[in-house]
Amino acid sequence: MSLILEGVSKVMNGQTHIYPTDLTLQSGTMNVLLGPTSSGKTSLMRLMAGLDVPNTGKVIWNGTDVTGMRVQDRGVAMVYQQFINYPSMTVYDNIASPMRLLRQSADQIDAAVRKAADLMQLSPFLDRKPLELSGGQQQRCALARALVKDAGLVLLDEPLANLDYKLREELRAEIPKIFEEAGSIFVYATTEPEEALLLGGNTAAVWEGTITQFDKTPIVYRKPVNATTARVFSDPPMNFLTVQKTGTRFDFGDGQSIIAATGAFAGLADGSYIAGFRPNHLKLEKPGPDALAFTGKLTVTEITGSETFIHLDHHGENWVGLVHGVKDLPIGSDLAVYLDQSHVYIFAQDGTSIAPASYATAA
């Protein structure tokens, strides 16, 4: 089983939502569409499902061109962040509705409904109507209906956003296993890099209607092919600064940190490059004798409980660091921060990746 997008694009009211895109998804895989709001994730899913017809290109399902086929004629299940249930039906009947349309036996339906309801912690509410449930319970009802549909293609558009933390964590672990065991192609859209890492599988980084990289999730995270992918797969976004290579040395920023151009950096031509590093790699204590050192003006701190976000103005560049512990730091002061060289990515001026961070070589 496979889903192939061949050069599909989507233009609406003169605005390009999806630029020509190629993508191949295989049976039994989990595939995450990761990108910010309005990056094109939902538009891609609508093309996959058949809710929209591409302006160019083809959608091929199991070797058959289904570009013009109606969504109801395809084996697709889709769940949105904004849950959709039948208000006049009980929870049981909502979950059972796809199986009844397929004229499956009463025993098959009952067994599948109760299994899905148990997984979604809905068993005590099967006789209730959706409007008698909480928002999270209504979303779980929609998810349960997708579970029993036994669809070849399952599209989940930020489906866990309205659930409480504990249930969200449980379902992140359980739902992919269920669909993968069924051999379905599982597509999950999210704005959260952490969620993509937790789900695993494959990740497509989506930015302004373009898939910038598609590969196994750890590879996309550790070895981004360009600065855009690195920005997408970092929350807060990756920090950047201009560096200059001259002879055998790298000059970071305004000369605060200069290192020897060794290893992957040694063969680079002299000139300007872009260095990138993730917020969690910025430290308040020097991690080693060869660490890069910078000074920036502290503009904001945000305490999350066990961690603190620090916002710095580094010569006009806005940097964010994520450090452990609760930090009481004076706003407006100059703050020294440090960075291990092994966590630095180097990009060309056009954003193309030249040298991944050295820790990425184990991916």
Q: What crossing angle do the helices spanning 91-101 and 135-148 adopt, rounded to 10°?
A: 20
Identity of residue 254: D
Best CA proximity match to 232, nearest among 351, 118, 321: 351
**Mean pLDDT across 18-34:** 95
The answer on 302 and 210 residing in a single domain is no
The answer on 125 and 106 residing in a single domain is yes
Task: With beta carbons less than 8 A apart as the criterion, state whether 90 and 128 touch.
Answer: yes
Helix, strand or coil, per DSSP, at residue 281: helix
pLDDT tens digits along 273-301: 999 999 999 999 998 887 888 999 999 99
CATH number at residue 173: 3.40.50.300
The answer on 165 and 57 residing in a single domain is yes
Domain edge (last residue) among 200, 231, 262: 231
The answer on 146 and 128 residing in a single domain is yes
The answer on 99 and 54 residing in a single domain is yes
The answer on 172 and 98 residing in a single domain is yes
Whether residue 171 is predicted with pLDDT greater than 80 in this model: the reply is: no
Range of the domain at 117: 2-231
For residue 272, the model assigns a pLDDT of: 92
The answer on 274 and 145 residing in a single domain is no
Domain edge (last residue) among 187, 207, 231: 231
For residue 362, the model assigns a pLDDT of: 38
pLDDT tens digits along 124-156: 999 999 999 887 788 788 888 888 887 889 899
pLDDT tens digits along 193-233: 999 998 889 999 999 999 999 999 999 999 999 999 999 99
CATH number at residue 347: 2.40.50.140
170: pLDDT confidence band, cut at 50, 70 and 90? confident
Whether residue 9 is predicted with pLDDT greater than 60 in this model: the reply is: yes
The answer on 208 and 195 residing in a single domain is yes
Domain count, the chain: 2
Alpha carbon distance 67, 201 (integer Å): 26
Whether residue 259 is predicted with pLDDT greater than 80 in this model: the reply is: no
Helix or strand run (H / E) with residue 272? strand 271-277
User: Which residue has 């036994």 as its token pair?
Assistant: 150
The answer on 117 and 91 residing in a single domain is yes
The answer on 320 and 221 residing in a single domain is no
The answer on 185 and 88 residing in a single domain is yes
Task: With beta carbons less than 8 A apart as the criterion, state whether 301 and 263 touch.
Answer: no
DSSP H helices, 102-154, are 106-119, 135-148
pLDDT tens digits along 75-131: 888 887 777 889 999 999 999 998 998 889 999 999 999 988 988 889 999 999 999
Domain edge (last residue) among 197, 231, 265: 231
The answer on 154 and 56 residing in a single domain is yes
Q: Give CA separation, 345 vs 77, 114, 220, 279, 342, in Å.
A: 39, 50, 13, 13, 8
Whether residue 257 is predicted with pLDDT greater than 80 in this model: the reply is: no
Q: Mean pLDDT for the chain?
A: 88
Alpha carbon distance 33, 191 (integer Å): 8
